[in-house]
Amino acid sequence: MAAFLVGAFSFICYLVLAGPTFYWLDSSELVAASWGLGVAHPPGHALPSLVARIFCYLPLGTIAFRITLASAAQTAMATSLVYLLSRELIAILNPQNDSPAPRWLDYLAPISAALIAGFSYSLSFQAVRTEVYALNLLLLLAAILFLLRWDRRQDRRYLFGAAFIIGLALCNHHFLVFLALPAGLLFILWRKREKGSKHKVLGVILFGLLGLATLSYLPLRARQTPVANWGSPSTASRLAWVVSAKAFQKAVSNASEKSLGQRSFGALFAVMGGVGPIASMLGLAGLYLLWRRRRSQRHAALFSGVILFNLTGPFLIGFDPFNPDAHGYLSVAVATLCPPIGAFIHLATGILLKRMRAVGYALAAVAVGLVIYQGSTQLIRSDLRGHWAAEETIRLMLDQSEKALIFTSYYGTIFNYWALKTTADLRPDIDVVHRNFLKQPGYVEDLNTRMPALYPLATRWAGKGRLKRNDLDVLRKEREILIEYDLNIPKKTMHRLRPSGLLMAYREKLTQKRVQKHRQAVAELYAAIGLPLEWETRRALGWWHFLWTHYACHRLYTPLARFHLKSAQLLSPKADRLKRLEKQCRAVVAQ
């Protein structure tokens, strides 16, 4: 009952702070994949799409908000699991149940540990937006709980349940699961050899494959050509491309550009900052107690291993402390550190209440204070109640023209378009092509289904790796061409672009009316979203202003360059690229 109440309280907090629509980054893409039953970015994320689709039937708010409720519910259940894991560790440290602790401490300690985890930024921000990290955390914590109960109750069904859960987790975010597997395998192998081990291994394999069968969703849905259809995994080779996440394997090599110290200490401080310095020390003290007692050393190895292996993620892919996804990666370490907090508070407070009552009550008060601290400093950072920036930006982009063909360059733009296209079928007269997807498996073939007239040209662009101006000239005779500016657009193509609302029109005359229309569109955008205080909104808009400044400088549009440079500096005043660009613009203006 207490676990349910902890989860319900956490869910209410997340519900209040949840964003009303989709967020930046992958949120809008996952909304499109859930509502349209599509294929999200590699490794496909089959399970979260299926689970979130169930929440779409709730008669609450927008479709995106309903899907966000799936993340809120999953994080709340993960918080409940932290409570249950704390109770398990308390039972392991006190198997005879002869602790001097009073009855109320049996609930205070694990509840405090659960809310410290649930109110941390690493967990709470995954609950207020659509993402896959909440489900990943829920499944991994459930697998750990099943392993502990299998070990304590000698019931093989818990082991098979853990294998099934891991199979399901591999259909969500297999990289994070692989980071946790070594600790789980070590925990299983630590036990002495039992009779029927062969049957146990066979059962683990079968139940794991049963959970892994969820991957069959990917080719089945890909054949229906949904709007979100990364890699179109309807064939074996494309399925392997998606599941292996080959598109993102370059991130491993790019991470080596940062020093090992930057990656390791950045991740370590993120975990300690998410839990809080005092709570982190209590968690380490709890792990020490587990390591100190022989009968609980394998449990200490399990929790320590999950934390340490999760921290190796930033070594491989890098760590950006300002990216909420980076904190989603580390949510496993944050949540796994909290059950030892509950175990230590329970044991230490129980002993102190018997010997030094005042100090014992003080430690119990510290536990309550840590929860209040988390709620006032960490939970408040996850407030997305007023976030409409991502949706309003793409809406204004689409409202600039009729029957246009838009070429986008950035993931966020196409993801936001997918979300609106899937949930609202907004602007069916407009076609959108992502330039950087042309070389991806299956993308051109999908274009043949939606835009057959464009298929021959798209095939040629995929082979060349860029748009051809002659083809754009031919298309311009039939409909308006709008292009999202990118730094890798050839100069000859760039010189044919003119401001048109929030995008750029191809082969149009530059007039004062067009420039004024562009400024008006920017004013409408800020009027719709308000002052962008949230960091990811500031970063997205700051980069957009940076691109416009870059374009205006190279086209010698001095007033336009000054307008966007000033806006970019207000959003991201410390960006190094903006400082370099400012020097370039000043040189252009001086001429």
- For 218-243, what is each residue's pLDDT tens digit? 999 999 989 999 989 999 999 999 99
The reply to whether 356 and 410 lie within a common domain is no
Q: Note whether 371 and 3 are within 8 A (CB).
A: no
My answer on whether 37 and 89 are in the same domain is yes
C-alpha 84 chain-centroid distance: 25
Q: Does residue 5 lie in a domain region?
A: no
Greatest pairwise CA separation for the chain in angstroms = 88
Give yes or no: residues 423 and 356 share one domain.
Answer: no
Domain hosting residue 146, numbered range = 17-219+233-240+250-382
pLDDT at 256 over 90: no
On the question of pLDDT at 252 being above 60, the answer is no
**Domain boundary, last residue among 343, 362, 382:** 382
94 and 205 share one domain: yes
Q: Quick check: 129 and 23 in contact, CB under 8 A?
A: yes
What does the pLDDT read at residue 196? Answer: 56
SS3 432: strand
User: In this structure, are 377 and 425 located in the same domain?
Assistant: no
In a domain, 367, yes or no: yes
Number of domains within the chain: 2
* Per-residue tokens: 133: 């990290």
Structure tokens at 217: 């969703």
pLDDT band at residue 194 using 50, 70 and 90 as cut-offs: low
Label residue 123 by pLDDT band (50, 70, 90): very high
Distance of CA 195 to the CA centre of its chain: 43
Provide the Cα torsion 280, 281, 284, 289; round to 10°. -140
Span 517-540, mean pLDDT?
A: 84
pLDDT in tens, 46-94: 999 999 999 999 998 999 999 999 999 999 999 999 999 999 999 888 8
Are 167 and 152 in contact, with CB atoms under 8 Å apart?
A: no
pLDDT grade for 447, boundaries at 50, 70 and 90 = confident
- Sole residue written with tokens 């949706």: 391
What's the pLDDT at 251?
A: 54
In this structure, what token pair is assigned to residue 108?
A: 């205070």
**Which residue, 354, 382, 410, sits at the end of a domain?**
382
Contact 159, 150 (CB under 8 A): yes
What pLDDT sits at residue 355? 77
Written as six digits, the tokens of 514 are 């067009």
Residue 10 counted as domain residue = no
Range 446-471 average pLDDT: 83
* 6 located within any domain: no
465 Ramachandran zone, left/alpha/beta (phi>0; psi -120 to 50): left
Same structural domain, 291 and 361: yes
Q: Are residues 350 and 282 in the same domain?
A: yes
By percentage, how much of the chain surpasses pLDDT 70?
A: 90
Same domain, 213 and 337: yes
pLDDT at position 260:
57
- Per-residue pLDDT band at 27 (split at 50, 70, 90): very high
Predicted confidence band at 142 (pLDDT cuts at 50, 70, 90)?
very high
Rounded distance between C-alpha atoms, residue 584 and residue 578, angstroms: 10
* Statement to judge: residues 323 and 414 lie in one domain: no
Q: Please calculate the CA angle 483-486-491 and round it to the nearest 5 degrees.
A: 90
The answer on 205 and 60 residing in a single domain is yes
Residues 441 and 468 in one domain: yes
Rounded to the nearest 5°, which phi and psi values hold at 459? -60, -40
pLDDT of the residue at 456: 86
Paired tokens of 39: 């294929």
What value, to the nearest 5°, has the Cα angle with vertex 434 and ends 428 and 440?
125
Q: What is the mean pLDDT of residues 517-526?
A: 87
Sorting pLDDT into bands at 50, 70 and 90, what band is 266? low
Structure tokens at 225: 């050509």
pLDDT level of residue 264 (50, 70, 90 thresholds): low
In a domain, 2, yes or no: no
| The model's pTM | 0.91
What is the chain's mean pLDDT, rounded?
86
305/181 Cα distance (integer angstroms): 9
Residues in the chain: 591
Query: Do 378 and 393 belong to one domain?
Result: no
Closest CA to 544 of 520, 572, 524: 572
Residue identified by tokens 């464009």 is: 454
Of the candidates 557, 487, 574, the residue with the CA atom closest to the CA atom of residue 519:
557
Confidence of residue 276 (pLDDT cuts 50, 70, 90): confident
Residue 12 domain flag: no
The last residue of one of the domains, among 349, 382, 415, is 382
CA–CA gap between residue 125 and residue 334 (Å, rounded): 13
